Amino acid sequence: MRERAVSLPALTEIAHRAVARAFEARALPKGGDGVPAFPFAVGATAGNGYDAVFLARQVGEGGLIAAFDVQEAALAATRDRLAAEGLLGRVRLVRSGHEHMERELARLFPALELRGKVTAIMFNLGFLPGSDKAVTTAAPTTVAALDAASRLLACGGVLSAHVYTGHRGGMEEDRAVLAWSAALSPEEWRVLSLSQPNKARNLERLILAERLFPKGKGGAGRP
Ligand SMILES: C[S@@+](CC[C@H](N)C(=O)[O-])C[C@H]1O[C@@H](n2cnc3c(N)ncnc32)[C@H](O)[C@@H]1O
């Protein structure tokens, strides 16, 4: 039987659209002392590699992404997917918790100052689809990683955090991510939260956070 089409977009599609807009708006690093003269993005949870492929396409030829995961199975799946798309050359796969992303990026790219220079950082939380759910993201490390990501993001850049609550600790993680986003300064961040208020179980939430240009430097002053 054919699946019935729905009109409202999936949260993943909305996240991808928001991130694509950040790239279209050219919220890109400009080059200069230690600053990468190419677009840079971070996949905070590599998983099966769908976001890594998306980000690798967004940064384009000459751009670079770092994709983090704690599981070798996830990195292997991501590597295969990127290789099949001919995009592996644009990606550094990092077996490390995303909470260590600043340390790991400094280790991998010692000549680059990436703080405030990253165009997009995507989190897709929960467990590796198809796995036994033994390894999942967790509120304390997720919040530490979101803090790190907020320091790395460029003005005009977009951070997305897609939360799934259908696993142990999922509801706690959802509350923590929502509280984290609510604490961002409205002068510095535009934040959206999209969820499914009519779902009591297994709800998903998407947090989108755009780092704003300082007053007087947006609009015409945008890169
Ligand atoms: C829902 S999956 C990600 C899906 C992925 N974005 C994709 O496009 O297929 C969540 C992933 O987070 C990983 N993970 C769990 N804890 C992590 C951590 N502290 N740092 C980085 N990744 C983590 C899991 O191993 C799992 O692969």
User: For residue 175, what is the domain's CATH number?
Assistant: 3.40.50.150
- Rounded distance from Cα 8 to ligand 1 centre (Å): 25
Distance CA 11, CA 53 (A): 17
* Residue 16: closest CA among 47, 44, 64, 53: 53
- Rounded distance from Cα 166 to ligand 1 centre (Å): 14
Ligand 1, atom 27, residue with closest C-alpha: 47
Least confident range from 51-55, 60-64, 147-151, 218-222: namely 218-222
- Rounded distance from Cα 47 to ligand 1 centre (Å): 5
The CB of 119 under 6 Å from ligand 1? The reply is: no
Per the domain annotation, does 223 fall within a domain? no
Assess contact for 44 and 145: CB atoms under 8 A.
Answer: yes
- Estimate to the nearest angstrom the gap between the alpha carbon of 43 and the chain centroid: 5
Per the domain annotation, does 220 fall within a domain? no
Per the domain annotation, does 184 fall within a domain? yes
Task: State the pLDDT at residue 27.
Answer: 54
Per the domain annotation, does 3 fall within a domain? no
Task: State the pLDDT at residue 215.
Answer: 81
Residue 214 exposed, middle or buried by CB count within 10 Å (0-12, 13-18, 19+): exposed
Ligand 1, atom 19, residue with closest C-alpha: 97
Percentage of the chain beyond pLDDT 70 is: 90
- Rounded distance from Cα 70 to ligand 1 centre (Å): 7
Ligand 1, atom 8, residue with closest C-alpha: 50
Instruction: Give the helix, strand, coil percentages of the chain, each rounded to 5.
Output: 35, 25, 40
Per the domain annotation, does 222 fall within a domain? no
Reported as a single tens digit per residue, the pLDDT across 119-145 is: 999 999 999 988 888 899 999 999 999
Tokens of 46: 């590599």
Q: Mean pLDDT in the chain?
A: 91
- Rounded distance from Cα 123 to ligand 1 centre (Å): 8
| Residue environment code for 98-127, b if the CB has 16+ CB neighbours within 10 A, otherwise e | bbbbbebbeeebeebebeebbbbbbbbbbb
Reported as a single tens digit per residue, the pLDDT across 194-210 is: 999 998 888 999 999 99
Q: Could you tell me the residue range of the domain that residue 189 belongs to?
A: 11-215
Per the domain annotation, does 5 fall within a domain? no
Alpha-helix runs per DSSP H in the chain: 11-24, 50-59, 72-84, 101-108, 139-152, 170-182
Distance CA 204, CA 178 (A): 12
Distance CA 65, CA 55 (A): 7
- Split into its structural domains, the chain has a count of 1
Per the domain annotation, does 210 fall within a domain? yes
